[in-house]
Structure 1
């Protein structure tokens, strides 16, 4: 593995993942303004929305970044941009990185996110040679946690009281998936016999 310079287009049954562009700014402005996205990403409620100029600059420059990979999530049925998937915080010597995703309201409830994450992780492990992909998710987002576990992420720690939300302290869960685990279940751990999902055979 060298870096994330190559920005691929990945095609699934119901989703397409492609490099983000400056022209995606308006669609992302809508997604980032969605109340659920604001809540579960921990954006302060009183924080002003990002300007279109800022978003154009941000998404227009992602193709130049060798240390991260940002792909737009496209609903193949409609051709609409409904979210994004990102590898960032790349640790080259240890072949690990962080994963994050946003899915707007038009992309929820139909399995698009689940397929997209499997497609994205498959590229990371099978094409880029990553060994570990980790993420953080707030404990009051059970839907996201279920999706992450469904595609093979394992809970491994808790960052206690990481977010103050509406007067309540919210924990953040750390989850990860390893290359040796992915090689066994390919994002479908529920189909692997007990004892094999870790990549270790049992009698």
Structure 2
């Protein structure tokens, strides 16, 4: 299997949907948010309006990755993005990343969006491993990832110079057999895992 199908994943706090070219402008505002810039690092190139239109307009054609817009279920407002990329078919491994703009923070949106797309990767695509990298000073994100079931595997020490200080990078991952037990709710007792799973996303394709 691959990521040719771009699903709509519906939760209680957010709806994840495929990107369109029209999302370029609101995503530009989100990417330019000071907190987003602080925690995501340099994009490596100038993100002009044309570059962003081309990028988000082409996400639906990529069978090797899944980029979904994080939206507010009440009004459809774009709040951020979640991504499974760096797909390795031989090991059934993907890398996860996310960014949530200011209007999506403090509402549990990021946590639910992470559960929705990672759950889709394991339960629909058949992934074996989902991994991520995060700055060690991004405490909010690290708490979210742990809450969803990612396990710290190690730390790359002083990998980047940010604002005059060397910063660490934390490596985390979750495996398919771990997800099968907790489905993104590791703090729930295994005997209650099925109950927690009743809140699994509704999928539209």
Q: Under a length normalisation based on structure 2, what TM-score does the superposition of the two structures give?
A: 0.90
Q: How does 1:115-130 map to 2 (within 5 A)?
A: 115-130=112-127
**Shift of residue 48, structure 1, vs aligned partner:** 7.6
Q: In the alignment, which residue of structure 1 is the partner of 2:8?
A: 9
**Shift of residue 163, structure 1, vs aligned partner:** 1.6
Q: In the alignment, which residue of structure 2 is the partner of 1:79?
A: 76
Residue by residue over 1:5-60, the C-alpha shift from the partner in whole angstroms, topping out at 9 and shown as x without a partner, is: 1111111112100001100000100001000010101128xx88511111000000
Gaps of 5+ in 2: 194-205
4+ runs deviating over 4 angstroms: none
Contact 1:73–1:83 (Cα < 8 Å) also in 2: yes
Instruction: Say yes or no: does 1:91 pair with 2:88.
Output: yes
**Shift of residue 78, structure 1, vs aligned partner:** 3.0
RMSD over aligned Cα, in angstroms? 1.5
Instruction: Say yes or no: does 1:153 pair with 2:154.
Output: no
Query: C-alpha distance in 2, partners of 1:14/1:71?
Result: 15
Q: How does 1:21-170 map to 2 (within 5 A)?
A: 21-43=20-42, 50-170=47-167
Query: C-alpha distance in 2, partners of 1:56/1:115?
Result: 27
Q: In the alignment, which residue of structure 2 is the partner of 1:187?
A: 184
Larger RCO of the pair (alpha carbons < 8 Å, separation 6+): 2
Contact 1:42–1:163 (Cα < 8 Å) also in 2: no
Q: In structure 1, the residue corresponding to 2:187 is in which secondary structure?
A: helix
Residue by residue over 1:137-164, the C-alpha shift from the partner in whole angstroms, topping out at 9 and shown as x without a partner, is: 0001000000000000000011111121
Residue by residue over 1:83-108, the C-alpha shift from the partner in whole angstroms, topping out at 9 and shown as x without a partner, is: 00100001101101100001000000
Residue by residue over 1:102-146, the C-alpha shift from the partner in whole angstroms, topping out at 9 and shown as x without a partner, is: 100000000011111111111110010001000000001000000
Q: In structure 2, the residue corresponding to 1:82 is in which secondary structure?
A: strand
Between Structure 1 and Structure 2, how many residues are aligned?
Answer: 191
Query: C-alpha distance in 2, partners of 1:192/1:144?
Result: 23
